[in-house]
Chain A
Amino acid sequence: MPVTTSLDGAVLTARLSGDIDHFTAADMRSEIDRAVTMNPVSELVLDFSAVNFMDSSGIGLVMGRSKLMSELGGKCSVCDPPAYIVKVMKLSGIDKLCPILGEGGVRL
């Protein structure tokens, strides 16, 4: 599965895996959105630790989920992305909208 979700209280963790490109992002988006809207979620954690590859489609995915959570009055973060993906994300400035957290929750 490219996305597995787990709920802990009101915190939903979506663990993404494999490659995120324009082709794969659509299913990932709908899977996450379904889990967010079906549960009382106040915080969405996008776990990127198992993502091997990401192009700008991944930025769109993070932007969209961040927007969704803000509409719901909640928050969104990205955790544990590989170094190269941090670079792609920072290029877009998405880290200003949605914090990128490394090991131990340190903001990257």
Chain B
Amino acid sequence: MKRCLNEMKLSFPARGENEAFARACVSAFIAQLDPYVSELAELKTAVSEAVTNSIVHGYRGRPGGVISMQVRLYSDRRVYIRIRDKGCGIADITQAMQPLFTTAPEEERAGLGFSVMESFTDSLRVKSSRGHGTSLVMEKTLRERSGDESVKDGISNKSGRKSGTGSPVR
């Protein structure tokens, strides 16, 4: 039976500076499961996309909005991440999740946020209500550690750059 090993909740204002803050927090918390460097990089990227979406789209760049984040670590090495905002919501989730769909091409948004989140996690669920906000849940089960300690090196260096990170190329 899998059980929840640990949980954290966090809320912060929807400011651009907090994109880095949010992924650093998630990264520090997930470190408890001793993930591979590549898995950590993937989850950080997915979190960065989700938080950016809330700031840019949910709150349309207006400060004052709040983003809340919840992370749970399970005994089967599953990581659960929920990111919520109380912004404008997504009118058409199916359309928003299409690769390259963007409402802000002039800002050089690539329209790949959801594609990145889907590629770098095992599952992504999005619930949104117009005028009330968006809630997004991502889950990823981390691989079992092989016990090769050399792999742990370089977390603060370039992600996945060292040989032997075992990064699966999908």
Q: Does B116 contact A23, Cβ atoms closer than 8 Å?
A: no
Q: For B116, what are the chain A residues with a Cβ–Cβ distance below 8 Å?
A: 55-56, 88, 91
Q: How many residues of A contact B (CB 8 A)?
A: 27
Q: For A56, what are the chain B residues with a Cβ–Cβ distance below 8 Å?
A: 49, 109-110, 112-113, 115-116
- Is B108 close to A, CB under 8 A? yes
Q: Does B160 contact A84, Cβ atoms closer than 8 Å?
A: yes
Chain B contacts with A in 108-159, Cβ cutoff 8 A: 108-110, 112-113, 115-116, 119, 157-159
- Is A64 close to B, CB under 8 A? yes
- Is A60 close to B, CB under 8 A? yes
- Is A52 close to B, CB under 8 A? yes
List 26 interface pairs A-B (beta carbons < 8 Å), by A numbering: A21-B20, A22-B56, A22-B109, A23-B17, A25-B108, A52-B159, A53-B23, A53-B159, A54-B45, A55-B52, A55-B113, A56-B110, A57-B108, A59-B110, A59-B112, A60-B107, A60-B108, A60-B109, A63-B108, A83-B159, A84-B160, A87-B160, A88-B45, A91-B112, A92-B110, A92-B112
- Chain A residues within CB distance 8 Å of chain B: 19, 21-25, 29, 51-57, 59-61, 63-64, 82-85, 87-88, 91-92
